[in-house]
């Protein structure tokens, strides 16, 4: 019987009002971060039920694959306290931990956690080994995929969890932006990446550079890709929520992007205000306002095309193109650089970011066989209308590095369709793995506990959608 050795979660967006895992006050959209949300509590109970089936009672590793804390569109206080509630739930009533190790791979919304980790590592681990006047190296922009011997501690999160009596000996290890498990003599591996680098908007600085200097190509190395774009990602997509009331207002504007009438109203008001405040020589206020409104619409069109806002299919054309480019470019180059120029014959790739879970085998150039691709989806309600492709999944991995997607939910107008199921990426003709059949049997044998979770998710999605509609239609930004 297979053992669950790794559990992967992503896109929890703890602290966001739209997250199903952020607790809200009763009949309100106000956040109550002193308690876990009902969905979060039931999710962890379901995972505990699965983990306790391990024959050897070995504790698995928890892989947090990005956007766990919402640092872009939520207050730090709310995100941090919601993370506390999550961490509390990984400790059993018997004071035992569900996981023996926590690995954190930041995404775009919590990228700042990587910045604090790498800067702390540079100061604490590197600088003491140098002498005054030495030629100093640059801080590391990325970690090795398969290097588990030299983890980068998460200074912020470790300081947070070590306040708990049962977690003083636990260290949250930071990796970025790729993390991997390798086995079977180097022939089999699982790769984790949050997924933001498959979207063109997160490569904006690199693309601008190629526009200004056409002779320069896009980065082919993961170090250069991060080095050129980290400041843009860190500011706009990870640190903006720190701006107190401004951060809240930006969140409201982001939500209003879903409603065309609200967008036009916001842009027109903004353009008129700027035109009155700043005069361009030879231009009247009315003409200036029209020009500004046109420019703002162009920017909003770009932001509005974010992958999580695309309702048709599990991957848009832009994301599909970006996935192939990332797999065949920076990721493949990093794997070969760490594996003596030898690509493992069986590769599984796990990512999130899009909030649309799926599992599929895909054919990428430079990989010996078809790659099993899993997306973990997300735990937020991004739209007033139900999005059937949107949902959340947990990826389970056994000692043989076989992966199974535990599809926790997909959005639906029909409550009965909120059902937990197991899914596996397989090439046509391949037989289901023993691990998949085992997980599928566990879910089917105890439908009552899983249905309780499903009913809770259905209610929470409805509440978040209603709250989102109210905020979008509000006259305030």
Which of 1-5, 185-189, 393-397, 447-451 has maximum average pLDDT?
393-397
Arithmetic mean of pLDDT, 60-69: 97
Instruction: For domain 4-240+315-473, give the CATH number.
Output: 3.60.21.10
Q: What is the pLDDT of residue 209?
A: 82
Arithmetic mean of pLDDT, 234-262: 62
Domain ranges of the chain: 4-240+315-473, 258-303
- Tell me what the pLDDT averaged over the chain comes to: 86
Q: What is the pLDDT of residue 56?
A: 77
Indicate the range of 70-84, 297-311, 325-339, 423-437 predicted with least confidence. Answer: 297-311
Q: What is the pLDDT of residue 308?
A: 58
pTM of the model: 0.88
Q: What is the pLDDT of residue 211?
A: 78
The per-residue pLDDT for range 352-370, each reduced to its tens digit, is 999 999 999 999 999 988 9
**How far from each other are the two terminal CA atoms of the chain, in whole angstroms?**
54
With cut-offs at 50, 70 and 90, classify the pLDDT of residue 453: very high
The per-residue pLDDT for range 390-415, each reduced to its tens digit, is 999 999 999 999 999 999 999 999 98
The per-residue pLDDT for range 43-53, each reduced to its tens digit, is 999 999 999 88
Residue pair 396/359 in contact (Cβ under 8 Å)? The answer is no
The per-residue pLDDT for range 112-129, each reduced to its tens digit, is 999 999 998 899 889 999
Q: How far apart are CA 98 and CA 91, in angstroms?
A: 6
Percent of the chain with pLDDT over 90: 59
Arithmetic mean of pLDDT, 186-192: 95
Q: What is the pLDDT of residue 279?
A: 55
Arithmetic mean of pLDDT, 245-258: 57
**Better pLDDT: 292 or 392:** 392
Residue 105 pLDDT exceeds 60: yes
Strand 358-362 relative to strand 101-104: parallel, antiparallel, unpaired? Answer: unpaired
With cut-offs at 50, 70 and 90, classify the pLDDT of residue 253: low
Its sign, for the CA torsion 71, 73, 77, 82, is: negative
Q: How far apart are CA 40 and CA 460, in angstroms?
A: 11
Q: What residues have CB less than 8 Å from 269, skipping those under 6 apart? A: none
């Amino acid at each position: 019987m297979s053992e669950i050795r790794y559990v992967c979660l992503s896109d929890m967006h703890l602290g966001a009002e739209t997250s199903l895992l952020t607790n809200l006050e009763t009949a309100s959209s106000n956040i109550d971060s002193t308690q876990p949300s009902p969905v979060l509590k039931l999710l962890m109970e379901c995972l505990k039920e699965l983990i306790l089936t391990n024959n050897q009672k070995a504790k698995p590793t928890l892989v947090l694959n990005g956007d766990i804390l919402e640092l872009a569109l939520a207050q730090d206080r709310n995100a941090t306290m919601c993370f506390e509630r999550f961490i509390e739930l990984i400790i059993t009533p018997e004071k035992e931990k569900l996981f023996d190790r926590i690995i954190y791979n930041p995404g775009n919304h919590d990228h700042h956690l990587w910045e604090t980790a790498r800067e702390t590592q540079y100061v604490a681990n590197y600088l003491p080994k140098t002498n005054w006047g030495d030629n100093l190296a640059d801080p590391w922009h990325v970690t090795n995929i398969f290097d588990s011997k030299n983890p980068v501690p998460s200074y912020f999160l470790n300081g947070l969890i070590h306040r708990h009596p049962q977690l003083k000996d636990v260290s949250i290890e930071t990796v970025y932006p790729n993390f991997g498990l390798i086995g079977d003599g180097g022939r089999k591996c699982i790769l984790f990446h949050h997924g933001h680098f498959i979207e063109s908007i997160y490569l904006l600085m690199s693309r601008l550079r190629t526009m200004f200097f056409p002779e320069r190509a896009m980065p082919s190395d993961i170090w250069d890709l991060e080095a050129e774009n980290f400041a843009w990602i860190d500011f706009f997509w990870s640190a903006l929520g720190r701006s107190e009331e401004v951060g809240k207002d930006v969140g409201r504007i982001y939500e209003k992007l879903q409603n065309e009438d609200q967008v036009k109203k916001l842009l027109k008001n903004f353009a008129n205000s700027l035109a009155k405040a700043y005069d361009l020589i030879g231009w009247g206020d009315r003409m200036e306002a029209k020009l500004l409104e046109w420019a703002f619409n162009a920017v909003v069109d770009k932001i509005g095309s974010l992958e999580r806002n695309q309702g048709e299919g599990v991957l848009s054309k832009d994301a599909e193109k970006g996935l192939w480019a990332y797999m065949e470019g920076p990721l493949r180059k990093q794997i070969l650089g760490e594996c003596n120029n030898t690509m493992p014959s069986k590769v599984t790739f796990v990512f999130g970011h899009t909030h649309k879970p799926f599992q599929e085998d895909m054919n990428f150039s430079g990989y010996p066989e078809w790659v099993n691709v899993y997306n973990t989806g997300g735990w937020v309600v991004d739209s007033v209308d139900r999005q059937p492709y949107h949902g959340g999944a947990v990826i389970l991995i056994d000692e043989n590095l076989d992966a199974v997607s535990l599809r926790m939910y997909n959005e639906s107008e029909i409550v009965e369709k909120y059902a937990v199921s197991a899914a596996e990426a397989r090439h046509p003709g391949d037989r289901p793995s023993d691990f998949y059949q085992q997980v599928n049997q566990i879910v089917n044998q105890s439908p009552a506990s899983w249905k309780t979770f499903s009913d809770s998710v259905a209610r929470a999605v409805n509440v978040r959608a209603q709250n989102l509609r109210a905020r979008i239609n509000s006259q305030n930004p």
